[in-house]
Amino acid sequence: RGQELSLEKLSQALCLCSDVDEQLKQLVSLFQFSENERKLRELLVTLLQEVFFEFFPGCEVLPFGSSVNSFEVHGCDLDLFLDLEHTKTFQASARKPQEEKQSEDKAAMDTLSEDKAALDTLSEDSILSDVDLESASASEILELIAAVLRQCVPGVHGVQALTSARLPVVKFQHKESLLQGDISINNRLAFCNTRLLQLYAEVDDRVRPLVYTLRYWAKQKELAGNPFGGGPLLNNYALTLLVLFFLQTRSPPVLPAVAQLKELADEGEKAIIDGWDCSFPKDSSKMEPSCNLENLRSLLAEFFHVFTDYDFASTVISLREGQAFPLKDILASETSSMLKLGALNIQDPFELSHNVAGNVNEKIALRFQSRCRDAAKYCRSLQYQRKSSKGKTWGLVRLFQRGDNTEISITEEGPAAGDGLVIYLPSPLLVLTEEQRRKLCGTEGVQQLCFQKVCTALRFVLQDVLKCSVSQDEDNENMANAEQAVLREEVPCVGAKRILAEEDSSVPDSKRPRLEAVSTREEKVSWHCTICHKVWLGRRKMRRELQRNAAPSLLQDVDSLQVEAEVTEAIRQQEHGSGPAQPLLMFRVCIVSAGAASQDCRTSLCFTPFQDPVALFQDFFHFLQVFLPKTVMKHIKKHGLNSSV
């Protein structure tokens, strides 16, 4: 997810620029979507719109967040808001008694902007006839959306309704492009603040280069970018607001305050959402260009300078007013006094009672200031300001280097799924026939059996195929014990095993598992892994070469896992010969079963780097995203679900 480009390649491209301003602009070109990436997202939105419209007449699928807010990076997630307002109106009118209905139907239909013919298809057997959208809970609606995605949208997998998350969403992945999508239903404000960011990006062309640069800097310094929300780091939205606030407070300002924008909104642009005033113009051409003429190089240096000694804890940053207020003033105001105050207080531009940085703890806020201090100091050097004539790194490149702060804060808080990058593995049950699956689904211990098989296969792939060293996470003995129990088959997966054993007449009676009580808890283990070789680099080429050189007779019955292990070995030889290799990257993988409630037995793997001195984790993770699901499944298929571990 996110910045796929390695720091190495990025640095090469930036060093070719002629000055720092060009480097900032170049960063945008390197990270923004290509025409094809944009088209792909548009096509996916259109597909979803068409399918959902069948089930939720009048609904609208509206993209928001980084896909459309002008600050996209390759592979960023696709945030979607499914607007069901019109569907609710229609459903309410369809459910009214006939006589009331006839007079109101016309009015309701007129409010629907979409294809009326499609609305006529709403019949008794529609999915909507079972659910009243007005009274249904958000969880029920999200489950419904998940069901539609699973059953009716081609090319989509990994569908999961996260109904208890801070912002409940349905997650999915588009198979072909590996694009991760999130669908939410009560998110009109986010749709609106996305448009505000777009507008600011249009108003002044210094906004995008600065935001991209500061997002990347903050990510490199482990200050921002919680990949799945949660955790103590700044999220991209909060960081972007901080940059916009900085530009509002230059003298003269580069950007107007949100309150000033409101004055420019005409009648059609006035909007109140959830009680908050969200009026601002749609069109940036109404706005006067700024008289501020500072260049990008000095604005960036000033950003670091301003926030080095900023009193974050006793002020509230208000983009609405384009000023920072002392806490006591804020506490006196009725709406703002509801703000959850913390180490960093950035008031949402519309939802004034919301601190978008409320999750940031004191440690991260202090670290933010300290990294700003280092950066401000570096920005005063000639190395920042001028291109090196001796081919040394200069300008932004050194700002992005991790330097001596390679320690990664997020792992200090322990392995929480919210901190890492996640890969979903498909259910091992997929290796069975349709009939076997039907028999097994929902049986006692099927979850544990699947989990046990996935752990075994995963360990094999990491250890034997990719030559990582794998050990149990010492910080997490409970988890390790759980894994041991699973591997020793103490955890009862007997119901499922019995069915499989009955199917398999080769298993002697004495070996058939006994039927015991069944635990339905969520399974979870955590491993520490070290990798010493870039096993993802040049893999395809190496595989082709090995296959070309293999004797034709050997190719007939190839074990593809064996081939992959040989490919790794060849890469290892190429990198280091037979000499010893140093650890390149250390990471933790936390393996969690889909949970007792779920019937499909998928597993999530949460990867968190804890030593990554040369910033390889992103590249390695992207490789694993494709490699792991297929090789783990190959292992399970080869050994069967019923074999002993």
Residues in contact with Mg ion by the rule CB under 5 A: 65-66, 77, 79
Does 79 bind ligand ATP (CB under 6 A)? Our answer is yes
For the chain, report the end-to-end CA distance as a whole number of angstroms. Answer: 33
Residue 190 interacting partner from Mg ion, ligand ATP, none (CB closer than 5 to 8 Å by kind) = ligand ATP
- Rounded to a whole number of angstroms, the minimum distance from the CB of residue 419 to Mg ion is 17
- Rounded to a whole number of angstroms, the minimum distance from the CB of residue 606 to Mg ion is 18
Q: Could you tell me how many helices (H) and strands (E) the chain has, helices first? A: 25, 15
- CA 372 from centroid of its chain's CA atoms: 26
Q: Which of residues 124-153 bind ligand ATP (CB under 6 A)?
A: none
Q: Which of residues 183-202 bind ligand ATP (CB under 6 A)?
A: 190, 193-194
- Rounded to a whole number of angstroms, the minimum distance from the CB of residue 399 to Mg ion is 24
The residue whose Cβ lies closest to ligand ATP is 65
Residue 4 is given by DSSP the state -
Q: What is the distance between the alpha carbons of residues 118 and 4, in angstroms, rounded to a whole number?
A: 41
Phi-psi sector, 363: left (phi>0), alpha (psi -120 to 50), beta = alpha
Nearest residue to 211 via CA among 241, 233, 235, 249: 241
What DSSP element (H or E) covers 487? helix 477-487
Does 222 bind ligand ATP (CB under 6 A)? Our answer is no
CB nearer Mg ion, residue 237 or residue 312? 237
Which stretch, 75-83, 493-501, 502-510, 610-618, contacts ligand ATP (CB under 6 A)? 75-83
Burial annotation 393-422 (CB, 10 A radius, 16+ → b, else e):
bbbbbbbbbbeeeeebbbbeeebeebbbbb
Q: What is the distance between the alpha carbons of residues 199 and 44, in angstroms, rounded to a whole number?
A: 24
- Rounded to a whole number of angstroms, the minimum distance from the CB of residue 262 to ligand ATP is 19
- Rounded to a whole number of angstroms, the minimum distance from the CB of residue 156 to Mg ion is 18
Could you give the dihedral angle defined by the CA atoms of residues 500, 503, 504 and 505, in that order, rounded to the nearest 10 degrees?
140
Residue 448 interacting partner from Mg ion, ligand ATP, none (CB closer than 5 to 8 Å by kind) = none
CB nearer ligand ATP, residue 77 or residue 523? 77
Angle between helices 35-55 and 138-152 (to 10 degrees): 110
CB nearer ligand ATP, residue 79 or residue 483? 79
Residue 195 interacting partner from Mg ion, ligand ATP, none (CB closer than 5 to 8 Å by kind) = none
- CA 192 from centroid of its chain's CA atoms: 21
- Residue pair 420/590 in contact (Cβ under 8 Å)? The answer is yes
Does 235 bind ligand ATP (CB under 6 A)? Our answer is yes
- Rounded to a whole number of angstroms, the minimum distance from the CB of residue 272 to ligand ATP is 17
CB nearer ligand ATP, residue 237 or residue 587? 237
In which residue are the tokens 């074990």 written? 559
> 479-488: long-range contacts (C-beta < 8 A, 24 or more apart)?
479/524, 479/525, 479/526, 479/590, 480/525, 480/526, 482/523, 482/524, 482/525, 483/455, 483/525, 486/448, 486/451, 486/452, 486/455, 486/523, 486/525, 487/452, 487/455, 487/456, 487/645
CB nearer ligand ATP, residue 394 or residue 607? 607
Does 64 bind ligand ATP (CB under 6 A)? Our answer is yes
- Rounded to a whole number of angstroms, the minimum distance from the CB of residue 211 to ligand ATP is 10
Residue 236 interacting partner from Mg ion, ligand ATP, none (CB closer than 5 to 8 Å by kind) = ligand ATP
Residue 456 interacting partner from Mg ion, ligand ATP, none (CB closer than 5 to 8 Å by kind) = none
Q: What is the distance between the alpha carbons of residues 446 and 553, in angstroms, rounded to a whole number?
A: 40
- Rounded to a whole number of angstroms, the minimum distance from the CB of residue 609 to ligand ATP is 18
- Per-residue contact flags (x/-) with ligand ATP for residues 337 to 366, judged by CB under 6 A: -----------x-----x-x----------
In which residue are the tokens 């924008």 written? 261
CB nearer ligand ATP, residue 357 or residue 601? 357
β-strands 315-318, 346-347 pairing: parallel
In which residue are the tokens 């404000």 written? 189
Kindly tell me which residue out of 236, 427, 568, 631 binds ligand ATP, with binding defined by CB under 6 A: 236
- Rounded to a whole number of angstroms, the minimum distance from the CB of residue 356 to ligand ATP is 4
Binding site for ligand ATP (CB under 6 A): 64-66, 69, 76-77, 79, 190, 193-194, 235-238, 348, 354, 356
